[in-house]
Amino acid sequence: MKKTPKSTLDNTAPDPIALAIHGGAGNYDKSDQNAQVKHLRQVALYGRSMLRSGAKALDVAEELAVMLEDAGLYVAGKGTGPNSAGEYELDACIMDGTSRNIGAVCALKGFKNPVKVARAVMERTPHVMLAGRGAETFAALQNCTPVEKPLEYYIIRGVTRLPEDLDTGTIGVVARDHKGHLAAATSTGGLLGKMAGRVGDSPLPGAGCWADGRVAVSCTGQGEYFIKAATAADISARMAYGGAALEDAAKAALADMKAQGGYGGVIALAKTGPPTTPYTSKGMRRAWFVGDGDLVVDV
């Protein structure tokens, strides 16, 4: 009997599921991050069970982002810090790699899960991004859960730090489902003590969040520099036009961001293989797995 060529097998075999999540890049010491490490493990395990039972990458990206927003352990959702006016303005983006559909919100006040509002923008409007008051009116109409009493809800209150100390701690998810579809989500409270109305990279497709048929990316770090370098889209472009492998593309895009003067990290996942999670900061809180491999959590 004639043997089936290996390449044919490779083409028909479904790509293994894979996932990476992050809880921000920054000046972290692993010994101070026990709660975050424990939580990232729980979230990644839940994501793995979702993917194993056939969930879509887009649903996994949204649901895990909600868990990270609700934890109060990262600078996103409940863990958001106030801006210089003492207000809580949140940004988020979600992107489906297969359809290239995107939803994003920026400078959103008064809602618990910006990533859910972003998904609603994607699915229930003809637009990609809503900002400020318009986003809030829309979120209310979509029955998104409001935060009635910000001072009781958000963990971080008041800003006493200097600009050099501005904390980072955005959350992000990249997922590949059993069909090989990719999706990404990024959600943040932005930089602690940021100016009112300041929007960083996280909600901007191509800067802090991206997914297409090739790669899904979520970034974290000093957003201004990720915007200057268009880091998330740059990873995809390096793979498409330069034929770079995922890891090389992510490292090169991050090096370009660093050359602009910033620091941070990315999680990125291609159509095949494991995720890559490079960073230029002292640490990055993250977890990942591929196929039946071990789940890894690290800072």
| Residues taking part in catalysis | 170
- Max distance between CA atoms of the chain, in angstroms, equals 75
Q: Which is nearer to ligand ASP, 51 or 93 (CB)?
A: 93
Smallest distance, ligand ASP to C-beta of residue 289, A: 23
Q: 96 near 58, Cβ under 8 Å?
A: yes
Which residues in 179-238 contact ligand ASP (CB under 6 A)? 188, 190-191, 200-202, 208, 220-223
- Kindly give the residue spans of alpha helices, DSSP state H, lying in the chain: 6-12, 34-52, 57-71, 114-124, 132-141, 150-153, 223-229, 231-242, 246-259
Q: Which is nearer to ligand ASP, 156 or 244 (CB)?
A: 156
Smallest distance, ligand ASP to C-beta of residue 17, A: 26
- From residue 242, give the alpha-carbon distance in Å to each of 238, 246, 249, 266, 273: 5, 11, 9, 19, 19
Which residues in 236-275 contact ligand ASP (CB under 6 A)? none
- Return the range that interacts with ligand ASP (CB under 6 A); candidates 2-10, 56-64, 166-174, 254-262: 166-174
> Rounded to an integer, what distance in angstroms lies between the CA atom of residue 96 and that of residue 98?
6
> Rounded to an integer, what distance in angstroms lies between the CA atom of residue 88 and that of residue 115?
15
Output the six-digit token pair for 164.
Answer: 């050099």
Which residues in 13-72 contact ligand ASP (CB under 6 A)? 24
Residue from 83, 170, 187, 218 that binds ligand ASP (CB under 6 A)? 170
Output the six-digit token pair for 239.
Answer: 């793979």
Smallest distance, ligand ASP to C-beta of residue 285, A: 11
Q: Which is nearer to ligand ASP, 190 or 193 (CB)?
A: 190
Q: Which is nearer to ligand ASP, 195 or 259 (CB)?
A: 195
By rule CB under 6 A, what count of residues binds ligand ASP? Answer: 16
Residue from 60, 68, 75, 95 that binds ligand ASP (CB under 6 A)? 75
**3 state DSSP class of 78:** helix
Give the nearest residue (CB) to ligand ASP: 223
**Residue 246 neighbours by CB distance under 10 Å:** 23
Output the six-digit token pair for 258.
Answer: 């660093």
Smallest distance, ligand ASP to C-beta of residue 255, A: 17
Smallest distance, ligand ASP to C-beta of residue 207, A: 9
Smallest distance, ligand ASP to C-beta of residue 293, A: 27
Q: What phi and psi, each to the nearest 5 degrees, are found at residue 70?
A: -80, -15
Block residue for tokens 């829309």: 138
- Return the range that interacts with ligand ASP (CB under 6 A); candidates 102-110, 167-175, 177-185, 239-247: 167-175
Output the six-digit token pair for 233.
Answer: 């889209």
Output the six-digit token pair for 253.
Answer: 């895009």
Tell me if 80 contacts ligand ASP by CB under 6 A: no
Residues lying near ligand ASP in the complex (CB under 6 A): 24, 75, 168-170, 188, 190-191, 200-202, 208, 220-223
